[in-house]
Amino acid sequence: MPIELPSLPYAVDALEPHISRKTLEFHHGRHHRAYVEKTQSLVAGTPLAAASLEEIIAKTAGKKAKAALFNNAAQAWNHTFYWSSLSPQGGGAPSGELADLIDRDFASHAAFVDAFKAAAIGQFGSGWAWLVLDGGRLAIAATGNADTPLAHDQVPLLTIDVWEHAYYLDYQNRRADYVATFLDKLANWEFASRNLEQATARKEAAE
């Protein structure tokens, strides 16, 4: 399948007032599009021309000579994952197995929130904060720039983009307010739970 810019999974104004239409128009329509188009140009005419973003990331991670391709492919993948990590009906706490694992691995949902906020707010410069499955346990991961859990044998469940273009039009330099709003109003726990279920099914099938 060719690498293409995916549509948003909701209307461009669906996240207002928490994330504005203008932010999504710039973030999805310009930033994400640029990563996709650059990836397309870098793989054109190469053995990776028909590869998926996941395959490109796997083949270029950690390779200095492939840094430009890794950065653009990873950013294209990270952004697609981020859009699904947001929901107009999101926020609050998860339920079911994911809630149980958060209590097991973080002691409580409140402790998870504190750890996630610390990772997202404390990420110096540009990057991401993630809830991941790492060796069978939940963990918080912070990655700089284009780095992604896919390059570190972790299974991403949920992410927040803390590059300034994700929030500056709405929150200016108030990253902490943006992170709090993500957790309170936007985090798509249904998406995170589906990712956990799929990871569990893959593990069981491999055993």
Mean pLDDT by 10 residues, the chain (207 residues): 90 98 98 98 95 97 97 98 98 97 98 98 97 96 98 97 98 98 98 96 82
Q: Regarding the domain delimited by 21-85, which CATH topology (the fold level of the hierarchy) does it fall under?
A: Helix Hairpins (1.10.287)
- Domain(s) of CATH 1.10.287.990: residues in the chain: 21-85
- Of the candidates 33, 10, 5, 187, the residue with the CA atom closest to the CA atom of residue 109: 187
Instruction: Give the Cα separation of 88 and 21 in Å (integer).
Output: 13
Q: What residues does 156 pair with on adjacent strands?
A: 132
Please say whether the beta carbons of 195 and 188 come within 8 A: no
Q: What letter would DSSP give residue 125? A: S
Which amino acid is present at 150? L
Identify the pLDDT of residue 57. 98
Give me the pLDDT at residue 1, please: 58
Would you mind telling me the total number of residues written for the chain in this entry? 207
Pull the structure tokens for residue 91.
């926020």
Predicted local distance difference test score (pLDDT) of residue 17: 98
Distance CA 21, CA 39 (A): 26
Close Cβ partners of 162 (under 8 Å, ≥ 6 residues apart): 120, 121, 123, 126, 127, 128, 129, 175, 178, 179
Here the tokens at position 21 are: 């239409």
CATH 3.55.40.20 residue ranges in the chain? 96-206
Q: Which parts of the chain fold into alpha helices (H)?
A: 21-26, 33-43, 53-60, 67-85, 96-106, 109-122, 168-171, 175-181, 189-206
Q: Looking at the domain 96-206, which fold is it?
A: minor pseudopilin epsh fold (3.55.40)
